A = this chain, B = another copy of it.
Amino acid sequence: MATSSVLYNPLPVPQSTKKRSPSIARAPREIVLNPPHTSSSGQAARLAKSLLNLLHLHVEAPPGTEDLRFSRQVSSRDIDEKYSAPTKSPKEVICNKWREIHGSSDWENLLDPLHPGLRREIIKYGEFAQATYDAFDFDSFSEYCGSCRYNKRKLFDELGLNQNGYEVAEYIYAMSHVEIPRWLERSQVADTWSKDSNWIGYVAHSDDEETRRIGRRDILVAWRGTVAPSEWYEDFQRELEPIGNKDGHHARVERGFLSIYTSRSESTRYNKSSASEQAMSEIRKLVNLYRDRGEEVSLTITGHSLGGALALLNAHEASSAIPNLPTSVITFGAPRVGNSAFRDELRGNGVKTLRVVVKQDLVPKMPGLVFNESLDRFDEHITGALEWVYTHVGAELKLDVQSSPFLKHGFNLLGFHMMETYLHLVDGFLSTRSNFRADAKRDVALVNKACDMLVDELRVPHSWHQLAHKGLVCNEHGRWVKPRRDPEDIPSPIGVGHKQNFCC
């Protein structure tokens, strides 16, 4: 069937959100704890479970704003128009203002209202972070569980991200010496590609066309988030470890994050070098390559959830090691990572950090949730000196689930934290005083990929991002079997060619 005739789940007319009627009774704020779905994304289920553990700590009650539900009178013409609308805003040339958009002035006057060029870049980097989930193999019956399902040359093509104008240079793998609850996705199969490591992200760079548009060669590092570390709060909240090499420094970061970032072992196949070493080696290579060509080079590091924490560690290291490299970090729903000295060193190194945060999301409040919230009443200089206080860094773009008429507003631990929810809310954000952007172009259905956040009227199934038959196919003999992974998509350690028979 041609997919051009698809007109099924009608989208609401965004304009109707402007006509808020004060007479609409406020819907009761239902507390909905999404059950962990057994979707293709085991990550989502674990995340939900993990987040549920947090409940005893802190639940932010949604403020009493009026209900923004849209009218459901949508004509089929509205639907036609909506479905044939492009999902991207036109690309704007930003070669003359890239430094501001990259944070040179700490995004002053760019966030509220949100500069359209900046919005587009935030979504671009956010999609690069989302790619680390979409391509991850969560199938515990797969011998490749914990790897990327596609090789680096195919990644963006498979995920429809080619139009963003970047090319993947290298994959990054991570392990951890610290016993971290449930962060590693492990295959149940004996002959697995790796017993210790997971794919944790990638290094990419802008292609020539995108480089012309954005005014410099942009090196990108995207870090994958893992399950939200509710246990970390209890296990590691006081376990800050020193980072960096400076004499007499006080910069300390959360022990679990640091372990994932720096662990390596000679007995492994994918982490003979650490995630840190793999990322830094590739960043250095690309910086040297393009600087030798006389190009201007920037570094942008992104990540969602734990990936945001790793992004900050990576930025700290890169900015310390490579002088004069404009370095920005864009995190989504990231937890606090280190103490105020860590924040100060990032600042001192010139790292520009934009934290995108959904107000209702609990993860950015971790770790140190309780301590920091109560210490807000004290003078910052006092609390900043306490080494065990985790501190957020950089500028903040604060989003509100209640701003979107497409989203359910009932309490939803998982949904509030999902990267696709973040992307949707960035796409619709104009300013803290405005309604959801009427001409927001991103496909709303994406929000429900791995959660249940869209209002039922949209008729988008929840957690719909799943493989047909969980990857089984019917062979010519009528038997349902799992195809071997294409040899070119079998992971191979950095610097080693493709091998089908791996030992580890």
**Chain A residues in the interface with B (C-beta under 8 A):** 1, 3-9, 35, 37-39, 83-88, 139, 141, 160, 188-189, 443, 445-446, 456, 459-461, 463-484, 486
A139 to chain B, nearest CB (A): 7
Q: How far, in whole Å, are A87 and B480 apart by their CA atoms in the complex?
A: 11
- 28 A-B pairs with CB atoms under 8 Å apart are A3-B475, A5-B483, A6-B481, A6-B482, A7-B481, A8-B484, A9-B141, A35-B38, A37-B38, A38-B39, A83-B477, A83-B479, A83-B481, A84-B477, A85-B479, A141-B456, A141-B461, A160-B478, A443-B479, A445-B479, A460-B480, A461-B470, A461-B472, A464-B469, A465-B469, A466-B466, A466-B468, A467-B468
Question: B87–A475 contact, CB under 8 A?
Answer: no
Q: B residues within 8 A CB of A139?
A: 461
Number of chain copies forming the complex: 2
Chain B residues, Cβ within 8 Å of A466: 466, 468-470
Which B residues are in CB contact (< 8 Å) with A1?
483, 486
Whole-angstrom CA separation of A474 from B483 in the bound complex: 24
Smallest CB gap from A38: residue in B: B37
CA distance A482 to B10 in the complex (A): 10
For the A-B complex with A7-B484, A459-B482 known, give 15 more contacts whose Cβ atoms are closer than 8 Å: A1-B486, A3-B476, A3-B483, A6-B482, A8-B481, A8-B482, A8-B483, A87-B478, A141-B459, A141-B461, A160-B474, A188-B456, A445-B479, A464-B469, A464-B472
7 A-B pairs with least C-beta separation: A468-B468, A8-B482, A6-B481, A445-B480, A464-B470, A87-B478, A461-B470
A461 contact set on B, CB distance < 8 A = 139, 141, 470-472
Complex contacts, A471 vs chain B, CB 8 Å: 461
Name the residue on B nearest A481 (C-beta): B6
- Chain B residue nearest in CB terms to A471: B461
Q: How far is the CB of A127 from chain B (nearest CB, A)?
A: 12
List residues of chain B with CB within 8 A of the CB of A474. 3, 160
The chain B residue with its CB closest to the CB of A467 is B468
Point out the residues of chain B lying under 8 angstroms from A443, CB to CB: 478-480
Output the least CB separation between A77 and chain B (Å): 16
Q: A445-B480, A456-B188, A466-B470 are in contact. Are A4 and B85 (CB under 8 A)?
A: no
Complex Cα spacing A88 to B479, Å: 11
The smallest C-beta distance from A318 to any residue of chain B, in angstroms, reads: 33
In the bound complex, what is the Cα–Cα distance between A9 and B469 (angstroms)?
14
The residue that A4 contacts in the complex, of B7, B475, B482, with Cβ under 8 A, is: B475
Which residues of chain B come closer than 8 Å to A3, judged between CB atoms? 473-476, 481, 483
CA gap between A478 and B3 in the complex, in Å? 10
| Bound-state Cα–Cα, A483 to B37, Å | 24
Nearest chain-B residue to A86 (Cβ)?
A: B477
Closest beta carbon of chain B to A500's beta carbon, Å: 12
Which of A9, A160, A471, A472 has most B Cβ within 10 Å? A472
Tell me the complex Cα distance, A467–B461, Å. Answer: 12
Which residues from chain B contact A464 at a C-beta distance below 8 Å? 469-470, 472, 480
Instruction: Give the distance in Å from the alpha carbon of A87 to the alpha carbon of B477 in the complex.
Output: 7
Which residues on the B side are within 8 Å of A469 (C-beta)? 464-466
CB atoms of B83 and A475 under 8 A apart: yes
Contact B4 A478 (CB under 8 A): no
Q: What is the CA–CA distance of A478 and B159 in the complex, to the nearest angstrom?
A: 11
The residue in chain B whose Cβ has the minimal distance to the Cβ of A1 is B483
A467 neighbours in B (Cβ, 8 Å): 468
Other-chain contact of A6, B141, B160, B484 (Cβ < 8 Å): B484
**Within the complex, what minimum Cβ distance (angstroms) separates A442 from chain B?**
9
With A and B bound together, what is the CA distance between A479 and B83 in angstroms?
7
Select the residue from A83, A474, A475 with max chain B CB neighbours within 10 A.
A475
A95 nearest CB across to chain B (Å): 26
Distance (Å) between the CB of A426 and the closest chain B CB?
A: 17
* B6/A473 in contact, CB under 8 A: yes
**Residue of chain B at shortest CB distance from A40:** B466
Do the beta carbons of B9 and A463 come within 8 Å of each other?
Answer: no
Q: Which residues of B contact A8 (CB under 8 A)?
A: 481-484
Instruction: Give CA–CA (A465, B84) in the complex, Å.
Output: 31
- Measured CB to CB, the closest approach of chain B to A25, in angstroms, equals 21
Q: Which of B87, B477, B480, B482 contacts A479 (CB 8 A)?
A: B87
Identify which of B35, B37, B480 contacts A446 (C-beta below 8 A): B480
